[in-house]
Structure 1
Amino acid sequence: MENPAEIRNEKLAQKLIKNLSQRHYDAYYCKTSKDALKKAIQLIPQGSSVSWGGSATLNEIGLIKALKDGIYKVYDRENSATQKEKREMSLKAFDCDYYLSSVNAMSEDGVFVNIDGSGNRVAAITWGPEHVILVVGINKICQDVDAAIKRARSTAAPINTARFDVKTPCIIDGTCHDCKSADSICAYVSIQRLSRPAKRHIVILVGEDLGY
């Protein structure tokens, strides 16, 4: 028997899928991370070139490992030995078949909010790769766009700074200061209203808390 949270998640997911469809996305709901991994692998044909932006969600569901272990042409920036190689790998990602990411926040009517330090992730989501797959935990859903922006700035960004060697005010006290630090990971803010061309973006909603 489903618990109240599962019932709510499924109802919210159906609302989101309808709203995303109106915004020209393909969208699916998976109750568990295991189901989300299976769906993502089904969507990416073997032999495809793939890359991804920094994402705790993709690691948590096991998708990065599955792609590295599978039959795919993988562009992984983390395998780069130098900054030059890292840049070259990032540029290759713009021409890959499938680019993978999560989002920092999403409104109930289907608008995504992402914040980046270098901008490579929001740039690739916006333009370049033929297909973009976004895996989104139910914890990323916010009531409206204003709430999504606040979540991205006040929740996701301060937590994500702990993953990097940066010097920002939020690394000290966990609170967004709207800083102008040279190390800020909030340099680029993207608000995405639609998938264009239609169906370029594929959303996998997951009924679990994933990522930050």
Structure 2
Amino acid sequence: MDANRNRVREISIARTIERLRKNNIEAAYLPSGQDVVPMLRSILDEGCTIALGGSATLAETGVLKLVRSDLYHLIDRYEPNLDPHELHQRLIDAFSADVFLTSVNAITEHGELYCVDGTSNRVSAMLFGPKRVIVIAGWQKIVPTLRDAIDRVKHIAAPANAMRLEKDTPCVKTGHCIAPYCDDHHLMAIPTGACDNGICSNMVVMGRQAKKGRLSVLIVGEQLGY
């Protein structure tokens, strides 16, 4: 990356980390995706119970391999051949986990996390239940404002995740949301009935946290996930 562009990125990351901390959210910067596993090894207690939110970032950084080791007790939502009842129970069990690992759709420079979910087990656990939540996100998910976060989901995160999940949605065909622009009438959603098979059911903004230190964000200096 050009040195000047890299400096702009560094300033944005530093500003975001500062404001996350002011919102009672622990935050740190990791230069590379290869730094994620060593960082987690240093902060996770051996034998702790870990649950996961759906995330391409966790797979890309080697986190899934780490938490499936004998060092931890994993509530594994990805175990092969789970029937719907078993999967549902594991998503419920996640609320009692010591640590919930996940990513996020966008982070604003104001120190907010923005998440859009379908079944919403991810955002539910981020908001309440697990003793600690650790968010791992590539630097490209940082955006200036909440409006930019919404647009990022509409043009990048939602279409890519719908493709990953093999959904038959308009965004899979067009590469962007059927309501591609954030406006005052449909700020965080889409027109009623416009996307019956969509994965964007609930939109959550996480701002200042009541319990300092429960929520941590690791910003990685690489593009990761969607």
TM-score interval, normalised by the smaller of the two chains: over 0.9
- Contact 1:51–1:98 under 8 Å retained in 2: yes
Aligned counterparts, 1:41-80, within 5 A: 41-79=41-79
Could you tell me which of 202, 205, 225 is aligned with 1:188? 202
- Aligned residue for 1:118? 119
AA in 2 matched with 1:127: F
Partner of 1:176: 177
1:133-157 per-position Cα deviation (integer Å, ceiling 9, x unaligned): 0011110011111101111222100
Contact 1:113–1:152, Cα closer than 8 Å, also in 2: no
CA distance in 2, matches of 1:128, 1:167: 32
Counterpart Cα distance in 2 of 1:185 and 1:135: 21
In 1, the alpha carbon distance for the partners of 2:105 and 2:99 equals: 19
Q: CA RMSD in A?
A: 1.6
Q: Structure 1 residues 70 and 9, CA, compared in 2 at 3 Å: closer, same or farther?
A: farther
Q: Is the 8 A contact 1:6 1:207 kept in 2?
A: no
Task: Tell me by how many angstroms 1:172 deviates.
Answer: 1.6
Report the alpha carbon displacement of residue 164 of structure 1 after superposing the two structures with TM. Answer: 1.1
Give every structure 1 segment of 4 or more consecutive aligned residues whose post-TM-superposition deviation is greater than 6 Å. none
Q: State the TM-score, normalizing by the size of structure 2.
A: 0.88
Q: Give 1:150's aligned amino acid.
A: D
State the distance in 2 between where 1:149 and 1:126 align.
Answer: 19
- TM-score, structure 1 length as denominator? 0.94
SS in 2 for 1:176: coil
Question: Residue in 2 aligned with 1:197?
Answer: 211
Partner Cα separation in structure 1 for residue 10 and residue 41 of structure 2: 22
Rounded Cα–Cα distance in structure 2 between residues aligned with 1:189 and 1:143? 18
Q: CA deviation at 1:193?
A: 0.8
Give the drift of 1:78: 1.8
Query: Hey, what does 1:88 align to over in structure 2?
Result: 89
Q: Tell whether the 8 Å contact from 2:154 to 2:176 is kept in structure 1 after alignment.
A: no
Q: 1:20-31 to 2 correspondence within 5 Å? A: 20-31=20-31
Assess if the C-alpha contact under 8 Å between 2:47 and 2:72 holds in 1: yes
Letter in 2 for 1:206: V
In structure 1, the gaps of 5 or more residues are none
Counterpart CA distance in 2 for 1:85 and 1:95 is: 16
Letter in 1 for 2:24: H
Task: Kindly state the Cα deviation for residue 210 of structure 1 after the two structures are TM-superposed.
Answer: 0.6
Secondary structure in 2 aligned to 1:208? coil
Structure 2: which amino acid aligns with 1:187? S
Aligned to 2:14: 14
Q: Which amino acid aligns with 1:156?
A: A
1:5: how far off? 4.2
The one-letter code sitting in structure 1 at the alignment partner of 2:74 is: V
Deviation per CA, 1:75-100: give whole Å up to 9, x if none.
11121520000000000101100001
- Where structure 2 has 5 or more consecutive residues not aligned to the other structure, the ranges are 179-189
